[in-house]
Amino acid sequence: MKIDKQQISDLNKSVETKHLIQLDFIANQLQHKGIDGQHIIKKLKDFQVAIPSWALGAGGTRFGRFSFGGEPSTLEQKLDDIGILHTLTNAAGAVSLHIPWDIPQNYQAIKDKAAQHNIVFDAVNSNTFQDQSNAKESYKFGSLCNSNKAVREQAIQHNIDVINIGEKLGSKSLTVWLADGSSFPGQLNFQETLKNTQDSLKTVYKSLPKDWKLFIEYKPYEPNFYSTVIQDWGTSYMLANECGERAYTLVDLGHHLPNTNIEQIVATLLYKGKLGGFHFNDSKYGDDDLTVGSIKPYALFLIFNELVYGIENNPKNPDLAWMIDASHNIKDPLEDLIQSLEAIMIAYAQALLVDQKQLKEAQEAQDIVACQEILQEAYRTDVRPLVRESRVQMNAAIDPLAIYRSLEIRKTLIKERGKNSTASGL
Ligand SMILES: [Mn+2]
């Protein structure tokens, strides 16, 4: 199914008056502070977040997966779902493919479909964390880190294959996340596996087209529970440096131990010009795959504050590849993604409101109280009318979730695809 812009504009009418009153209120507040609301709205309009091809079906935990009907079972249908999201929110204009779950059968047809929905192909993701049915070697004891050369070679070749697929679609980056590690002390040699990983990544890096970037993702634990080869940002940063200038660290919010100061990691990487990509989600305990902003919205704001500061002050750092990496199993994924996109836009808008000049002055005067007040003044501003207006100006929905529900989109998808359709993935 495809949503008509006219349908959105008709449905917007019923909430237009309320929106304009709220927009007027914040515009006056901002004007009083000398902030140009239109400037913020412009930035919000331009902000695009990639949707991963695996987030459109029911996610799961290792205990089970609960389907909800109407899941996209082909790549074309996944692009249709992202098209729905993008039409409603004007914030989901990119897709991030997971290989081998989403290898296109017909490249031209996939490119045409994406173009129809104004979707571009963002980073491609390789998968060496599970065995493929026809694979000669097994990743049970690691992939790029494996002590067996044949396994490493298979994993390297897979990454090169992923690059080739991405090239045909117009992607410009490869994201590598490794499950490699150990579950018991003594299982592997830390130094040897790190060296193998470094050598393997360097070989993959050498195969990158000149205009491509390599993103190296880290994670402290899971699926391995004693050690992970690329466990933290420092290891990722070191490996990226070893690879070369077009290799970067990728930060995934869920890939940290509880209470880690992620905003400081973001600032450090931006300072060094080595932050390449960013995966949004939220969590309470680990890599929980929860909706962005559902647990720690203030932390999300503080992270965005560093991102906004870095984008302004670290020209050496490239434009970031933004992606949502959340896929839980008890919500309709499209509703979940709408909520995540909204949370991202809100945090971004709040961060854009931080008075950086005032903050600098307060920091220099060691006025800690004022520093906190400046940040919280921005965080406690209801920026939602600005986010809504950024959509109105692009003919998208004032309230995407309400329109998604009133158009009964899930019901239509179930009617079109059936109750038992399943998306490819884990
Ligand atoms: Mn991730």
- How far away, in angstroms, is 173 Cα from ligand 1 center? 14
Question: Using N-to-C axis directions, what is the helix angle for 233-243 and 262-271, rounded to 10°?
Answer: 20
CA–centroid distance for 289 within its chain: 11
- How far away, in angstroms, is 64 Cα from ligand 1 center? 20
Contact 247, 214 (CB under 8 A): yes
Count Cβ neighbours within 10 Å for each residue of 40-77 and write b for 16 or more, e otherwise: bbebbbebbbbbbbbbbbbbbeeeeeeebbbbbbebbb
Q: CA angle, corner 127, sides to 121 and 133, nearest 5?
A: 120
Count Cβ neighbours within 10 Å for each residue of 115-127 and write b for 16 or more, e otherwise: eebebebbbbbbb
Question: Can you give the three-state secondary structure of 112-142, one letter per residue?
Answer: HHHHHCCCEECCEECCCCCCCCCCCCCCCCC
- How far away, in angstroms, is 18 Cα from ligand 1 center? 38
Element (H, E) at 67: none
- How far away, in angstroms, is 12 Cα from ligand 1 center? 34
Topology classification of domain 5-417 = TIM Barrel (3.20.20)
- How far away, in angstroms, is 404 Cα from ligand 1 center? 27
- How far away, in angstroms, is 218 Cα from ligand 1 center? 8
- How far away, in angstroms, is 140 Cα from ligand 1 center? 20
pTM of the model: 0.97
- Residue 45 vs residues 379, 394, 395: alpha-carbon distances, Å: 20, 7, 11
The domain limits of the chain are 5-417
Task: Determine if residue 28 is left, alpha or beta; phi over 0 gives left, psi from -120 to 50 gives alpha, anything else beta.
Answer: alpha
Contact 68, 422 (CB under 8 A): no
- How far away, in angstroms, is 129 Cα from ligand 1 center? 13
- How far away, in angstroms, is 287 Cα from ligand 1 center? 9
- How far away, in angstroms, is 362 Cα from ligand 1 center? 36
- How far away, in angstroms, is 290 Cα from ligand 1 center? 12
Q: Give bridge partners of residue 98 from the DSSP assignment.
A: 125
- How far away, in angstroms, is 72 Cα from ligand 1 center? 21
- How far away, in angstroms, is 323 Cα from ligand 1 center? 8
Local confidence pLDDT in tens for the 426 residues of the chain: 889 899 999 999 999 999 999 999 999 999 999 999 999 999 999 999 999 999 998 877 777 888 889 999 999 999 999 999 999 999 999 999 999 999 999 999 999 999 999 999 999 999 999 999 999 999 999 999 999 999 999 999 999 999 999 999 999 999 999 999 999 999 999 999 999 999 999 999 999 999 999 999 999 999 999 999 999 999 999 999 999 999 999 999 999 999 999 999 999 999 999 999 999 999 999 999 999 999 999 999 999 999 999 999 999 999 999 999 998 789 999 999 999 999 999 999 999 999 999 999 999 999 999 999 999 999 999 999 999 999 999 999 999 999 999 999 999 999 999 988 877 666
- How far away, in angstroms, is 325 Cα from ligand 1 center? 5
